[in-house]
Each structure stands twice: as C-alpha cells, then as structure tokens.
C-alpha cells in the first residue's frame, strides 16, 4: 500500500524567519499581522520567530537565503506587495522576487513560502491583505509550517528505511 505523507499545521518546535518588505508598508504590515495570526494558530512559540524588514520585494530572496544558510530555521516566509504601475518595473520586481524565492528553497532545502501579493490595483492588494480574498501572510505561514513538517516526515521515513 502506498504511503501518504502530509505536513500538519502544528509547530512541533519549529523555528521560522519572516522577511517583510517595507515598500507598500501599509499592506505588508497587514500581511505580517496575518502571518502572526497563523503562527498563533499553529502554536509556534513567538521566541522561535525572527522578523527582518527589507527595503522592497526585490531584497526578499537574499535575506531569505541568509536566514536559510544559518541552519536555525525550518522554514522562511517572504512577505511583500508589488503593484502594477505604468512601467514594466512590476514585471521585473515581481518576477525576480518569485524566481529568487523559489531558488533559495531549492538551493538550501529550506521551505521558503511566497507571501508576496502581486496585484494590478491597490484594491486587489487590499483584498489579499486581510480583505475579501483572505490574507496571503496567513496563507504563507500555513504553507511554511506544513512544508517544514512534511520535510521532517520525509527525512524520518528515509532514516527509518536506512536504519
């Protein structure tokens, strides 16, 4: 019979880092509030969470990578908000942030959750930062905790089969 592995939303002694963009801070503060709500729901000890503020979403991947390289965190959450404007700046920032965050996870083996709102309008962003479409900060923490727990299970299966 096949084995089914899934990460639960409980803390199990996890340490997390959260990287938050100051650009569009009125919205990223709401994402961080949602993230803190999810941490409470998952029973993650507040002392096991470090929060770093960076200038913008473009700086999220580098900071996430530095956190991952410390070996202290089982997951990292990146929070930001990039709004489409009249220039192609949105495409560069949003695309590079997404690509960089994914690369950090793949290169380090530490789950890095993408909690960056990318929206065409301010209203769309507001709806995703605690409005009608939920809170992407909350969602990102839930993803990070589940992924950290899933990777622990995968490692445990490998150890059990080897030992």
Instruction: Write the pLDDT tens digit of every residue in 97-125.
Output: 999 999 999 999 999 999 999 999 999 99
Whether residue 127 lies inside any domain: the answer is: yes
Whether residue 11 lies inside any domain: the answer is: no
> Averaged over 52-74, what is the pLDDT?
97
> What is the domain-level CATH number for residue 41?
3.40.50.960
Gap between the terminal Cα atoms of the chain:
21
Whether residue 112 lies inside any domain: the answer is: yes
Domain that holds residue 65: 16-156
Whether residue 6 lies inside any domain: the answer is: no
Whether residue 118 lies inside any domain: the answer is: yes
65-83: per-residue pLDDT in tens?
Answer: 999 999 999 999 999 999 9
Long-range contact set of residues 82-91: C-beta below 8 Å, sequence gap at least 24: 82/23, 82/24, 82/57, 82/116, 82/117, 82/118, 82/119, 83/24, 83/119, 83/120, 83/121, 83/122, 83/125, 84/118, 84/119, 84/120, 84/121, 90/118
Are 68 and 27 within 8 A, CB to CB?
Answer: no
Whether residue 1 lies inside any domain: the answer is: no
Residue 87 predicted with pLDDT over 80: no
> Averaged over 8-28, what is the pLDDT?
92
C-alpha 51/C-alpha 53 separation (Å) is 7
Whether residue 10 lies inside any domain: the answer is: no
Count of domains for the chain = 1
Pick the catalytic residue from 26, 72, 89, 120: 89
**Annotation marks residue 89 as catalytic:** yes
């Amino acid at each position: 019979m096949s084995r089914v592995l899934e990460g639960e939303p409980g803390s199990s002694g996890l340490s997390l880092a959260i990287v938050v963009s100051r650009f569009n801070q009125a919205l990223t503060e709401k994402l961080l509030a949602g993230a803190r709500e999810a941490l409470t729901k998952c029973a993650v000890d507040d002392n096991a969470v470090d929060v770093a503020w960076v200038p913008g979403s473009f700086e999220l991947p580098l900071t996430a990578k530095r956190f991952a390289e410390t070996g202290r965190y089982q997951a990292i959450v990146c929070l930001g908000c990039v709004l489409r404007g009249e220039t192609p700046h949105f495409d560069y920032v949003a695309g590079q942030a997404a690509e960089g965050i994914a690369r950090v996870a793949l290169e380090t083996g530490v789950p890095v959750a993408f909690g960056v709102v990318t929206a065409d309008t301010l209203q769309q962003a507001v709806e995703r930062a605690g409005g009608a479409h939920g809170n992407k900060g909350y969602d990102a923490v839930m993803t990070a905790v589940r992924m950290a727990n899933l990777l622990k299970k995968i490692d445990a299966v490998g150890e059990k089969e080897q030992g």
